[in-house]
Structure 1
């Protein structure tokens, strides 16, 4: 899955929630009408989105998130959800300064 598709899926979930649709089953039905994929994949996407928001919220509160077997960069939905939540909580400038692409030290030379 590309980051662009992940972002569209996350945006669709957010739109559903903004419309008042909180039930995962109804959100999955909406996702299935707009995207190709299996029902379980969309439930997993919702779970990864919730996890990304949870991690971003903990980190935004000033606490560190313990290391886990899931790395934010390993899952496009998790990565997009984390980014959107972190920007929402701390601002885009903060996100870019702390998580933006950093130059590789060897490319300086």
Structure 2
């Protein structure tokens, strides 16, 4: 009688549940992490950071930084030209503007007291 009932009915206390891909398919990636232990897809790797946002931060504080003071871009400066302009500025009080790209529109802009440069 009990054996007949057990064979007729099957009791499963923990049935199989389909897991939604949207719930556990995306693993959060810490932007400060230096090492990844899995191979994320491009969309997951460069997705915006998820989490609470500090409402008291300014736009400058929210900006992406690679140093404590801000963002530093790589630049190549020739040692000879750097020393030449540094010594010119310390001796005469003027030097070529390092932010000028030397194009025809900008010309050769000077910084400092350019009266002695003429």
Superposed pair shares fold, TM > 0.5: no
Larger radius of gyration: 2
TM-score with structure 2 length normalisation? 0.19
TM-score with structure 1 length normalisation? 0.20
In terms of fraction of residues, the more strand-rich structure is 2
In terms of fraction of residues, the more helix-rich structure is 1
Higher normalized contact order (CA 8 Å, seq sep 6+, divided by chain length): 1
